[in-house]
Chain A
Amino acid sequence: MPHDGHDHLSSSGHPFRKDNDTPLTYWQLMEISVRELMITKGEFSSTEINKQIEIMDARTPANGSALVARAWSDPEFKKRLLKNGAEAARELGFDIGPMHLIAVENTEHVHNLIVCTLCSCYPRNLLGFPPDWYKTKEYRSRAVKEPRSVLEEFGLVLPAEINLRVHDSTADMRYIVLPMRPKWTHEMNENDLARLISRDSMIGTSIIGSNP
């Protein structure tokens, strides 16, 4: 129905996305110029840039899930993870570069939530790109002021007796939540456990729920 007066909607009912044919901003132009200059000077090739982008795109929360599943299955590994998250991640073979990682453990008494109020610091090497909401001013400002209301909007109502700890990634550390392992999973192997562990449970905006 292209002529029904709803010009901002496509015939499928979705809003049109504007073409990005506006002039480049100052910083876009700067990025392209520096990149092309460095390619011309032989610092690196466009193939290498694309390869790096592919590596970034390939990172998914599955890496973090594998880490948590190992911690759930191996108490000694869990101790090492809580002591030094980065070393534990490297032990599992994840290339996390120079990242410093702190794993914070959810228990019956404590729930942890991760935020970066200043920008969007996130353990990308383990969880991939952060979700869009993680980068919004709304989440970043509200998570340190009214975290329980934020969690409720994610469908997680925390009992008052649970101590909520919000972790603001203000400097060099990155954080991952070690969710609580549900009792009903006690017979599951590591691979099956990993499939249960969601991205949001490692940010702290959800928990691993009851047996589906």
Chain B
Amino acid sequence: MTIPPGTSITIKDSAQPGHIRTPYYIRGKTGVIERSLGEFKNPEQLAYSLPSSLYELYRVRFKMSELWNHDIENPNDTVEAEVFSHWIEEYNNAT
């Protein structure tokens, strides 16, 4: 099921090798689903010419204060990144 916009989710804190499109600075961080983008093939497979099934891709919005511990220019500023569904931790539907 597609995660609805506004849902708070956490990115998996994994350090697996390969062609990963989830940048390190958002791993283990919590953000909010901004919108879902539809299903796309997984670059982690495509990069090695492996067949890939389709994964939902999301835009996730993070607060600067969540991403960086200190020297934050403005706590209200945000960074949004595209994250594949298999990089999102199990989340609580109710929240």
Contact = CB atoms under 8 A, between A and B. Distances in A.
Are both chains from one complex? yes
Interface of A: 100, 102, 117-118, 144-149, 160, 163-173
Contacts of B57: 171-172
Interface of B: 21-23, 25, 37, 40, 43, 57, 59, 61, 67-68, 71, 73-74, 76-84
A118 B43 CA distance: 13
Nearest to A161: B76
A153 to B, nearest CB: 13
Contact of B21 (A144, A165, A171): A171
B81 A148 contact: no
Contacts of A173: 37, 59, 82
Shortest 4 CB-CB contacts between residues of A and residues of B? A171-B82, A164-B77, A168-B81, A148-B73
Secondary structure at chain A's binding surface: helix, strand, loop or mixed?
mixed
A145 B71 CA distance: 9
Contacts of B40: 171-172
Contacts of A118: 21, 23
Contacts of A149: 73
A66 B22 CA distance: 33
A118 to B, nearest CB: 6
B80 A165 contact: yes
A163 to B, nearest CB: 5
Given A146-B73, A165-B78, 5 more contacts: A118-B21, A144-B25, A148-B77, A166-B80, A170-B82
A156 to B, nearest CB: 13
A165 B5 CA distance: 17
A173 B35 CA distance: 12
Contacts of B74: 148, 160, 164
20 contacts: A100-B37, A117-B23, A118-B23, A144-B67, A144-B79, A145-B68, A147-B73, A148-B73, A149-B73, A160-B74, A163-B78, A165-B61, A165-B78, A168-B80, A168-B81, A170-B23, A170-B81, A171-B57, A171-B83, A172-B40
